[in-house]
A and B are shown apart, each in its own frame.
Chain A
Amino acid sequence: MKRLIGPVLGLASMAVLFIPGILDPVLRFLFPGAGEWVFPRASLLSLAAMHLLISLTAGATAAVIGITLGIAATRPAGRAFLPLIRDASSLAQTLPPAAVLALAIPFLGFGFEPVLLALVLYSVLPVLNNTLTGLETLPEPVLEAARGMGMSRLQVLMRVELPLALPVIGTGIRTSVVINVGTATIGALAGAGGLGSPIVAGLIRDNPAWVFQGAMASALLALMLNALLKAAEKRLQPANMREV
Chain B
Amino acid sequence: MTLEWQNACKTFTDKKAVDNLSLEVSEGELLVLIGPSGCGKTTSLKMINRLVQPDSGAVFVNGRDVSEVPATELRRHIGYVIQQVGLFPHMSVADNVAAVPRLLKWEKDRIDDRVKELLNLVGLPADEFADAWPSRLSGGEAQRVGVARALAADPPILLMDEPFGAVDPLTREVLQREFLRIQSTLGKTVVFVTHDLDEAIRLGDRIAVMNEGRLAAVAAPGELLLNADPFIRDFTGEDRALRRLARLSVGAAIGEATPITAAGFSGGGESGAPAGSVRTDATLKEALSMMLEAGETSLEAVSPAGRRIGKLTMEDLLESAAGTEAS
Contact = CB atoms under 8 A, between A and B. Distances in A.
Residue in B77, B83, B91, B134 whose Cβ sees the most chain A Cβ within 10 Å = B91
A244 B136 CA distance: 9
B182 to A, nearest CB: 19
Interface string A130-154: 0000000001011111111111100
Interface residues of B, number: 29
Interface in B114-163: 133-136, 149-150
Contact of A149 (B89, B90, B103, B134): B103
A145 B82 contact: yes
A144 B86 contact: yes
Chain A, interface SS category: helix
A30 B295 CA distance: 102
Contacts of A139: 84, 86, 89
B168 to A, nearest CB: 19
Given A144-B51, A145-B80, A155-B103, A150 B86 contact: no
A180 to B, nearest CB: 29
Interface string B24-64: 00000000000000000000000001010000000000000
Given A142-B88, A240-B90, A243-B133, A149 B149 contact: yes
B167 interface: no
A239 B136 CA distance: 12
B72 A145 contact: no
Interface residues of A, number: 23
A226 B104 CA distance: 41
B76 A164 contact: no
B111 to A, nearest CB: 14
A39 to B, nearest CB: 48
Contact of B72 (A142, A144, A152, A243): A152
Interface of B: 49, 51, 71-77, 80, 82-91, 99-100, 103, 133-136, 149-150
Interface of A: 139, 141-152, 155, 160, 163-164, 238-241, 243-244
Instruction: Rank and list the top 9 A-B pairs by shortest CB-CB distance, nearest first.
Output: A145-B86, A240-B133, A150-B75, A141-B86, A150-B76, A141-B84, A238-B90, A148-B80, A150-B72
